[in-house]
A and B are shown apart, each in its own frame.
Chain A
Amino acid sequence: MTQSVITQAPADGADVAVAASNPRLRWILLAAGLVAALALPWFVYPPVAMDIVALALFAIALDILLGYTGLLSFGHAAFWGSSAYVTGLIATHYGLPFPVAVIGGAVFAMILALPIGYVSVRRSGIYFAMVTLAFAQMVYFIGYQWSDLTGGENGLQGVPRSFFGIEAVETDSFYFYYAALPILLFGMWAAWRIVHSPFGRVLVSIRDNAPRARALGYEVDKYKAVAFVLSAGLTGLAGGVFAISHGFVALTELHWTTSGDVVLMTVLGGIGTLWGGIVGAFLTVMLADYLASSGFHGIDLITGSVFVLVVLLFRRGVWGTVRHQWNSRRRRRTTSGEGTGR
């Protein structure tokens, strides 16, 4: 069994550090991203805009595992969905302001991730994918049957959007967007922080070569488990905001197709890029939104084909490809002697 490393061959991997290599470019990108996030609800129906940003954080959280630790979780719907339910329950029963409820949901997702992560990280690669999928399915069944709490297939309806009595936010999804955006941006920042921390460095080393990391004294399973829990927490933040934004939670949030959707977003955008998650979420949500009133029925036909094509032909994903092109052009321009130093 080869160690599972879902990255490019080494020669391609050369761009991983590059975004960091050009601080000015990074600031430009960040500024552009922020402007785009602020402007989004003017161009896109605000609840759809909210979906995009929430799912973008979901995809980014998944990428911490997939792109930076080399673990493909096919069961992240468990954390997204359970946080959505817990957030909804807190908001409904305690009437707390929604950010508090969202944090509660995220904490619950992390608690749930502890046992699942503990068991799952004992297997890597393909096994990990299958085991997480199976556990998520278990959580789904529990959600289905525990209808006293979850409302079963009716969903948890009428989740309030309480926000310190500020009516605009509570009733108008346009203003709600701006109230919820900071939570999601915080989540994205946290993901970036995690990836570019001493911890993130260890994760990358595990992705590249886990036995070697062990030989250096790193308890690989513990690192994987912590990454899993952190990823689940960020996923939970996104799921909680999603629940509040929609005002209800449905069982589909726990379903394995939700896990599949977010994997698609991450892969489509580009594994191991963070920015890719945003691009992937944007494209996927806009596609579903467009198809709803397009008269074309059979979204899975498109989704599935995109999956196959991306995996066969554009494994770098949209963002990864753009970055690769940019970097190889830049490399050609600059002399090779400088290397890719920072």
Chain B
Amino acid sequence: MSAVVQYAVQGLAAGSFYALAALGLAVIFGVLGVVNFAHGAFYMLGAVATAVLLDTLDLTLWWSLLVVPVLMFGFGVVVELLLVQWLLRLDPLYNLLLTFGLTLVLVELVKQRYGVSGLPYRLPGGLQGRVDLSGVVLPRYQLFVLLFSVAVCVLVWLVMTRTRIGMIVRAATEKPELARALGINVGRWVTPVFGFGVALAGLAGVLAAPFRAITAEMGNNFAIILFAVVVIGGLGSIVGAVVAGFLVGLVEAFGQAYAPTFAQILIFVLMALVILIRPAGLFGRQEATT
């Protein structure tokens, strides 16, 4: 029994990364209509920045959790202004292709600058060690990741529901026709929202730094699973992205525990099932028939 609880918590902790990053992906998609292929690369940059900041400026994880998302926000804004915005009026596939190319460039640049083996990172003392929750022993950091990302998701949710900006973004994401009807000008929020989504991916990267290999390629596989996550959750849905993120984490963990050979395939099977039964995703808005 305690093993099941342990797998569940581990699954949710692994799902935290997906949830945070998918949240960013969903918001970007909602407001810009862009599927950001480079999301995995931004996740990678978040982790690399964390490692580099520790190495050069001795910034610990606590600082990185603050600083890196801000940096990534700035980077996202630059990317949006320099590249993404020029294609917003065209078919969204062009931005998919653009961000795909951007991914190749970013990964290669990191490889050239920081090598292929990866970067070192040390966990701050306060987060080392384990906690014992009545028989279920968990690394303290894993628990931290889980609680922290749930807190971030809740915070984002509060911003989305309680602030004017949040309402606008949510309206644009989930009810575009309503946003249009209300005459909300989403235009000036496009750039900051892209930055915000990138910052979330970067934040997931910061959280990954102490626990995962920080390499140029770390975002590649992550991005593909992320796509499965948002297809499962429904691209137009903020809640869907978060829930599907945690769900995929759970599927992964239990798959690994009980059917390791099929753990990775399971996620894609789940995706196929969702498409067959609910094409718009678990929480997706039913599109007008294509």
Contacts and interface: CB of A to CB of B under 8 A. Distances in A.
B227 A300 contact: no
A7 B272 CA distance: 28
Interface stretch (B93-101, B155-163, B250-258): B93-101
Interface string A124-135: 111101110111
Given A126-B35, A304-B101, A141 B275 contact: no
Given A72-B96, A126-B93, A301-B109, A307 B265 contact: no
What secondary structure prevails in chain A residues at the interface with B?
A: helix
* Most chain B CB atoms below 10 A, which of A122, A126, A138, A307: A126
Contacts, number: 125
B93 A129 contact: yes
B119 interface: no
B103 to A, nearest CB: 7
Contacts of A211: 289-290
B101 A125 contact: no
Interface stretch (B167-175, B184-192, B228-236): B228-236
A306 interface: yes
Contacts of B136: none
Interface stretch (A100-108, A236-244, A308-316): A308-316
B94 A142 contact: no
A210 B97 contact: no
Contact of B98 (A3, A263, A312): A312
B178 interface: no
B224 A134 contact: yes
Interface of A: 1-7, 72, 119-120, 122-127, 129-131, 133-135, 137-138, 141-142, 145, 210-211, 214, 220, 256, 260, 263-264, 267, 298, 300-301, 303-308, 311-312, 315
Given A5-B91, A119-B272, A141-B264, 5 more contacts: A6-B93, A126-B92, A130-B35, A138-B269, A263-B100
12 contacts: A6-B91, A72-B93, A72-B96, A120-B275, A122-B279, A130-B228, A130-B230, A134-B227, A137-B224, A300-B105, A301-B105, A301-B112
